[in-house]
Amino acid sequence: MHNVIPRLHQLFSHEDRLLILIDPDPDSIASALALKRLLWHHVTSSIIAPIRPITRPQNERLVQLLGISLTPLAELNPGDYNRKAVVDNQPPHHKSLAAFNYDLVIDHHPLEPETKARLMDIRPEYGATATIMTEYLREARIKPSLKLATALYYGIKTDTANFERAAVEADVRAFHYLFGFTRKPLVRRLEFAEFNIPMLGYFQQALNRFRIRQTRLYAFLGPVNTPDILVILADFFMRAGEITWTIVGGIYQDKLVVIFRNDSLRKNAGRLALRAFGKLGSAGGHAASARAEVPIDRTPLSPIARWQEWQDFIIDRVERHGRLKPHTEGEILAKPAG
Ligand SMILES: [Mn+2]
C-alpha cells in the first residue's frame, strides 16, 4: 500500500483522543509506539492499552528498559476515547478487541472476514506488523528514536524468530534499516531476559522430575502462574543433544496445559498433540511446536493428584495414543555395532 500516510492522517482530527489496543507482545508494543509517533500533533492524545497483563519476562523487560508507557484496558474508560485502533491483531481475535468499532486496523495475520474499520491495512505475507509500521515511518520521513527503532527491530526479530519463520523481503529491508538506529547491547539485554528469578524455581522442579523415554523428555510442573514457563522449559530441554522431543505439562487455571517441542526432523508436533489429547480438550500446532489444553475435569485425575500421577498420565497418553515410531534416529545410533 502506497501513500498510506495522507489517508492515515485524514482519519483523525486534532480534537481526537485515540485508544490503541494491543494483545501485548514485542511486535504489537512496537507497532503501537510507531502509530503513536506517526500521529503526534495529529490527535490530542493517544494511549496504548494492553488487553491483558504482560507475563513474559522478555516483554516486561522491553517495556521497562525502553520506558514504554502502557495503560491496561481494565484501568481506563474506553468511552473517554472517540477513536480506536488495533495493531498486530484483528477484532475477532479476542473478546476484548471485538467489543469496539475501529477507525484503524493494521495487522499481518490472515484477514478475518468480520474485520471492519474505516482504514484497514492487512498484509498476511509480512513477518511482522513492525515491518508495516517501519514502512509508514519511512514514508512519513520520520527518523525513529533509539527507543522506537529498538522496539521495532526487536518486534521483527521475535515475530520472525530471527528470520527462521515466514518473512518477506520487506521484513529484511525494514530490519536492515532499523539496525542503523538501534544499539546492539540494548537488543542483547532484551534477548537475555528470557526468564526471571521466580521462574528459576520451576527449572529446579523440572530438573528434579523429568523422565526420559527413548529420546523423549517429559516433565510435569504442577500449578504454574503462567503457561509461558512450560514453553521456556520445553525449549530449554531441547538443547540437550540426545533429546528429539520435549513434552512439558503444568496446571493453569483449571486446565492441564501440555507443550510439545521436537527437533523438526520428520516429526509432527501438532499431530502428536492432537492424537494424545484431542479427544479430551483442544490440541494442535505446527510441525515442531504444539500445545494441548485439557480441562482438569475431563482427565481421570483429581486436581489434588500427586505430580507423579499427572506426569505418568501425560507419558501414558503420548506414548500410547501418539503412535510414536518405535525407533528413533537416536536409538538406531545407540545400538552397539555388530
Ligand atoms: Mn505480529
Query: What is the CA(284)–ligand 1 centre distance, in A?
Result: 20
The answer to whether 258 and 291 are in contact (CB under 8 A) is yes
What's the gap in Å between 87 CA and the centre of ligand 1? Answer: 9
For position 110, what pLDDT does the model report?
Answer: 94
CA distances (Å), 311 to each of 229, 243, 308, 315, 316, in order? Answer: 16, 18, 5, 6, 9
Q: How far is the CA of 316 from the centre of ligand 1 (A)?
A: 36
Q: What is the CATH number of the domain that holds 118?
A: 3.90.1640.10
Tally the domains of the chain: 2
Q: Determine how β-strand 289-295 pairs with β-strand 255-262.
A: antiparallel
Q: Alpha-carbon Rg of the chain, whole angstroms?
A: 22
Which of 192, 216, 240 marks a domain boundary? 192
Residue range(s) defining the domain that contains residue 311: 200-331
- Supply 4's cell numbers: 498510506
- Could you tell me the distance, in angstroms and rounded to a whole number, from the CA of residue 75 to the centre of ligand 1? 24
From the CA of 131, how far away is ligand 1's center (Å)? 9
Q: Are residues 288 and 178 in the same domain?
A: no
* CA 44 – ligand 1 centroid, Å: 27
For residue 257, the model assigns a pLDDT of 97
Domain match, 150 and 12 both? yes
- Domain boundary (145, 167, 192) is at 192
Give the residue from 265, 271, 223, 226 showing the smallest Cα distance to 243: 265
Distance 77 CA to ligand 1 centre (A): 26
Q: Which residues surround ligand 1, an ion (CB under 5 A)?
A: 27, 88, 129, 159
| Cα–Cα distance list, 314 to 28, 138, 264, 300, 301 (Å) | 34, 50, 21, 11, 11
170 with 39, same domain? yes
Tell me if 63 is assigned to some domain: yes
With respect to residue 336, please indicate whether it lies within any of the assigned structural domains.
no
In a domain, 105, yes or no: yes
- Cα(23)–Cα(284) distance, rounded to whole angstroms? 21
Query: pTM of the prediction?
Result: 0.79
Q: Are residues 220 and 239 in the same domain?
A: yes
Q: Give the count of alpha carbons within 13 A of 307, CB side only.
A: 17
Centroid of ligand 1 to alpha carbon of 239 (angstroms): 26
Of 160, 192, 224, which one is at a domain's C-terminal end? 192
Considering the domain boundaries, does residue 338 fall inside one?
no
pLDDT for the residue numbered 336 = 39
337 lies in a domain? no
Residue 35 sits in the same domain as residue 148: yes
**Same domain as 177, residue 267:** no
Q: Say whether both 180 and 281 belong to one domain.
A: no
Q: Report yes or no: 151 and 30 within 8 Å, Cβ to Cβ.
A: yes
pLDDT of residue 183: 94
**Measured in angstroms, how far is the CA atom of residue 28 from the centroid of ligand 1?**
6
State the Cα–Cα distance between residues 77 and 71, nearest whole angstrom. Answer: 11
- Give the Cα separation of 34 and 39 in Å (integer): 9
Rounded to 5 degrees, φ, ψ at 17 are -115, 120
**Could you tell me if 165 and 244 lie in one domain?**
no
Shared-domain flag, residues 150 and 276: no
Whether residues 186 and 261 share a domain: the answer is: no
pLDDT value of position 325: 62
Per-residue pLDDT of the chain (338 residues; tens, 9 = 90+): 568 999 999 999 999 999 999 999 999 999 999 999 999 999 999 999 999 999 888 899 999 999 999 999 999 999 999 999 999 999 999 999 999 999 999 999 999 999 999 999 999 999 999 999 999 999 999 999 999 999 999 999 999 988 877 788 999 999 999 999 999 999 999 988 888 898 999 999 999 999 999 999 999 999 999 999 999 999 999 999 999 999 999 999 999 999 999 998 999 999 999 999 999 999 998 889 999 999 999 999 987 899 999 999 999 999 998 777 654 444 433 333 33
Backbone angles phi, psi at 129, to 5 degrees: -70, -30
Give the CATH number of the domain where residue 255 resides. Answer: 3.10.310.30
Three-point CA angle 205, 206, 212, nearest 5° = 140
- Same domain, residue pair 182 and 290: no
Distance CA 220, CA 209 (A): 7
Assess whether 175 and 206 both reside in one domain: no
Q: Residue 260 domain-assigned?
A: yes
